[in-house]
Amino acid sequence: MSTKLENQEAIQSYAEDIVSLNSKLGLAQGNLNLLTSIKNEYSGYQDAVKRLMQDSKHDPVIGSKIWGVLAEVITVPSDFEAAIEYALGGAMQNVLVETERDASDLINYLKQKGYGRVTFRPLTSCRPRPLTGENRGVLTEPGCYGLASDLIKYDKKFDGFVQTLLGGTVVVNNIDNAIRIFKKYNQSIKIVTLDGEIFSRGGEITGGSRRSQTQGLLAQEKKIEQAQANLEKIKNNIALLNNQRAEREQELKDLTDKIEQLNQEISELRIENSLNEDKSKQAYEVTQSLQEEISKNAEEYEIVKARIKELEEKISSIDELEKVVAEKKEEYTSMLESSKNVSSEQKSEREVMAEQVTEIRVKLAGHKSILDACDQDLFRYRRERETLEDEKLDVIAALKLEQQNLDNITNAPEKTTFSKEDEARIAALEKQIADLNVRKRTISDEIVSLDQEKTRITDERMAVNEKKVRDENMLENVDIEMRTQQQHILEEYDLTYASAVEFKDPEFKAYGALTVISDLKKSINRLGDVNPLALQTLKETEERLQEQTTYRDDIQKAYDDIVTIINELTGEMQTKFSDAFDQISENFKDVFQQLFGGGKGELRLNMQDTDDVLEAGIDIYAQPPGKKLQNISLLSGGEQALTAISILFAILKLKPMPFCVLDEIEAALDDANVNLFAEFLKKFSDYTQFIVITHRKPTMRHADTIFGVTMEEKGVTKIVSIEFEEAAKHAK
Q: Taking all residues of the chain, what is their mean pLDDT, rounded to a whole number?
A: 76
Cα 67 from Cα 469, distance rounded (Å): 104
- Amino acid identity at 615: E
- Please report the pLDDT score of residue 368 as a whole number: 61
pTM over 0.85: no
Cα 600 from Cα 593, distance rounded (Å): 6
Report the candidate in 123, 110, 112 with the shortest Cα–Cα distance to residue 50: 110
Indicate the pLDDT class of residue 213, thresholds 50, 70 and 90: very low
Between residues 388 and 554, which one has the greater pLDDT? 554
Between residues 484 and 101, which one has the greater pLDDT? 101
The pLDDT tens digits for 399-441 are 566 556 555 544 544 444 445 666 676 677 667 667 766 766 7
- Please report the pLDDT score of residue 404 as a whole number: 62
DSSP E strands: which ranges in 471-575? none
Q: Is the pLDDT of residue 712 over 90?
A: no
Contact 90, 119 (CB under 8 A): yes
What values do phi and psi take at 227, rounded to 5?
A: -65, -40
Between residues 394 and 155, which one has the greater pLDDT? 155
Task: Point out the least confidently predicted range of 200-214, 295-309, 663-677.
Answer: 295-309
Indicate the pLDDT class of residue 170, thresholds 50, 70 and 90: very high
Mean pLDDT over 589-613 rounds to 86
Mean pLDDT over 234-248 rounds to 78
Q: What percent of the chain has pLDDT over 90?
A: 6
Cα 627 from Cα 621, distance rounded (Å): 12
State how far the alpha carbon of 54 is from the alpha carbons of 48, 51, 92, 104, in Å: 10, 5, 17, 19
Cα 270 from Cα 277, distance rounded (Å): 10
Q: Is the pLDDT of residue 106 over 60?
A: yes
Indicate the pLDDT class of residue 172, thresholds 50, 70 and 90: very high
Q: Which residues contact 103 (CB under 8 A, 6 or more apart)?
A: 97, 120, 122
Contact 329, 476 (CB under 8 A): no
Q: Is the pLDDT of residue 339 over 70?
A: no
Q: Is the pLDDT of residue 192 over 90?
A: yes
Between residues 725 and 190, which one has the greater pLDDT? 190
The pLDDT tens digits for 348-403 are 555 665 666 566 666 656 656 665 665 676 566 567 666 656 665 665 665 566 55
Q: Is the pLDDT of residue 193 over 90?
A: yes
Task: Point out the least confidently predicted range of 48-57, 455-464, 688-697.
Answer: 455-464
State how far the alpha carbon of 640 is from the alpha carbons of 19, 372, 604, in Å: 63, 149, 17
- Please report the pLDDT score of residue 261 as a whole number: 74
Q: Is the pLDDT of residue 629 over 90?
A: no
Cα 498 from Cα 502, distance rounded (Å): 7
Cα 332 from Cα 337, distance rounded (Å): 9
Q: What is the DSSP string of 391-403?
A: HHHHHHHHHHHHH
Indicate the pLDDT class of residue 5, thresholds 50, 70 and 90: low
Task: Point out the least confidently predicted range of 135-144, 525-534, 603-612.
Answer: 525-534
